[in-house]
Amino acid sequence: MLQKIDKKNYIFFYLIIFLILSSIHNSNFKHNNFFSIKKIEVIDLNNAGYYFLENNFTDLVGSNIFALNKNSFQLIYSINSIKSYNIKKIYPNQVKVYLESAVAIGVVKNSNGFIILGDNGKIINLESFPKNVPEITGTNDIEKIFQTIEIINKSNFDIKNIKKIIFFPSKRIDIELKNKKKIRFPINFAIDDLNFGYRVINDEKFNQSITIDLRVPNKVITYD
């Protein structure tokens, strides 16, 4: 029993010594070539063609891995089609950068063409026109559109089932579903208005109604 206790004490003693020595020489380790970055690898999780970024990070090769942080990769913020990234350090001298692409959540149509909106809150560029996202008309206020989509996502509606979001100067919207049914919402609508519209559109009593008008408070007006 005494031998086991002594063994544990020895292990604890050497662990303390190791930590002390590590603290004393930590600054030397940070300047040691052993910890100089030799390779930065970009992992493109969506195969969206971001591997070119490896060439942009060559200036970080040779720097100390302890000094590297997320701010060292500020360049990524300038690429709108990237939603998020994660930095993984592989000691002593390698770094992997994991990139995730933004996904289209809507297309704004206007007289100049169209703008694709991403789930990262930015305008994004895609090689092909996105499918299964709502078409947005009636406004060029991108911030307002993102706010509206955020409200819709918090409601009971599945945005994948929405074909169109139509904005009006009076600050209200119509939503047209893929089953061709339309809901007219009041000015300054909120999540409660959306959820109420969702319940109405799914109520058997209104199966034959093509348009549900909720613009008048406490009333449901239908059009066949």
Prediction pTM value: 0.75
Amino acid of residue 89:
K
Q: Thinking of the domain 104-223, which architecture would CATH place it in? A: 3-Layer(aba) Sandwich (3.40)
Domain covering 34-101, topology = Ubiquitin-like (UB roll) (3.10.20)
How confident is the model at residue 2, as a pLDDT?
38
For residue 120, the 8-state DSSP code is T
| Contact assessment for residue 173 and residue 202, using Cβ atoms and an 8 Å cutoff | no
What pLDDT, on the 0 to 100 scale, is given for residue 198? Answer: 95
Q: Are 53 and 42 in contact (CB under 8 A)?
A: yes
DSSP annotation of 128: S
d(CA 182, CA 175): 6
Structure confidence at residue 181 (pLDDT): 94
pLDDT (mean) for 139-152: 95
Does 86 have pLDDT greater than 70?
yes
Ranges in the chain annotated CATH 3.40.50.11690: 104-223
pLDDT digits (tens, 9 = 90+) for 39-51: 999 998 888 778 8
> pLDDT at residue 31 above 80?
no
Domain with CATH 3.10.20 in the chain: 34-101
